[in-house]
Amino acid sequence: MATLYLNAEKTTVAPYVIFSGDPWRVEVLKRYLDNPTHVAFNREFNTYTGSYKGVPITVSSTGIGAPSAAIALEEMYEAGMMVAVRMGTSMSLLDDMLGNFIIPAAVVRRDGTSDTYVERGYPAVADIELVNAMNKTVADHGRRYLNGITCSMDGFYTQMHDSRLSQEQGRDISSTFDEMKRLHVCAIDMESSCILTVARLMGVRACVVTVATVLENLKDSLKGDERTSAEDLLCRVTLEGLARFAAV
């Protein structure tokens, strides 16, 4: 029986799953798969299953934020997922990491969705062997990576980037970044802590692979061809890293 939102089934989902926030980045990913089959595109969830170097892989989108990411994770788990990788972008708090890979060892849980699964003291930590496979793959491509601590938050326009409303209300977005830097957090996103927490509860091996495409409060960002190239490399690195992990 197909799942409620992703229309996924055990017959259509592979044990290895890559999650991308952007449903259109899934279209880039699927170009690198052998014999990709379109499972479904419902709401924000765009899903294909194929193989890469003989490894069966499903690629699916989650949309923005932890609530929909948790739905995607739940339904892929129901369909037989055993390994999960969140592949996406992050907001770096380190200027020299713009355009480079951030593959967190752990994530500070400031999202609200993971709190509905387990108390806040439960850690959001990545599978170390999966992280190491991704590290080696990034190095093979001659790029930098960082295995620091990141943080996931719910409020993009209340915590991560100024908006008209935040300015009208006198909200000081800089306080977010000041606190994170005191805690030696290297980047911020909106999904990773939930994905790592829920995956750990499921017994699913999981990690996060991101490229830093923007700096704090969007003071700088990758644009145009530079961003397109960075996201394409992100797709290739994640697929190669999964194939390396599966071969161990």
In a domain, 29, yes or no: yes
Q: Has residue 149 got a pLDDT over 90?
A: yes
In a domain, 106, yes or no: yes
Tokens 């850690």 — which residue? 123
Q: What is the pLDDT of residues 34-64, one digit of tens each?
A: 999 999 999 999 999 999 999 999 999 999 9
Alpha carbon distances (Å) from 53 to 31, 33, 35, 91: 13, 9, 11, 31
Q: Has residue 170 got a pLDDT over 90?
A: yes
pLDDT at 25: 94
In a domain, 8, yes or no: no
Number of H helices, E strands in the chain: 7, 12
pLDDT at 48: 98
pLDDT at 93: 98
Q: How far apart are CA 222 and CA 209, in angstroms?
A: 17
In a domain, 3, yes or no: no
Q: What is the pLDDT of residues 86-133, one digit of tens each?
A: 999 999 999 999 999 999 999 999 999 999 999 999 999 999 999 999
Q: Are 126 and 181 in contact (CB under 8 A)?
A: no
**What is the CB neighbour count within 10 angstroms for residue 185?**
20
Q: Has residue 158 got a pLDDT over 90?
A: yes
- Mean pLDDT within 71-83: 98
The CA-based angle 52-16-98, given to 5 degrees, is 80
Domain that residue 194 falls in: 16-247
Alpha carbon distances (Å) from 234 to 29, 45, 95, 172: 9, 20, 19, 33
pLDDT confidence tier of residue 248, bands split at 50, 70 and 90: confident
Domain count within the chain: 1
Phi and psi, residue 71, nearest 5°: -60, -45
pLDDT at 128: 98
pLDDT at 202: 98
The CATH number of residue 24's host domain is 3.40.50.1580
Q: What is the pLDDT of residues 206-237, one digit of tens each?
A: 999 999 999 999 999 999 999 999 999 999 99
In a domain, 4, yes or no: no
The answer to whether the pTM exceeds 0.95 is yes
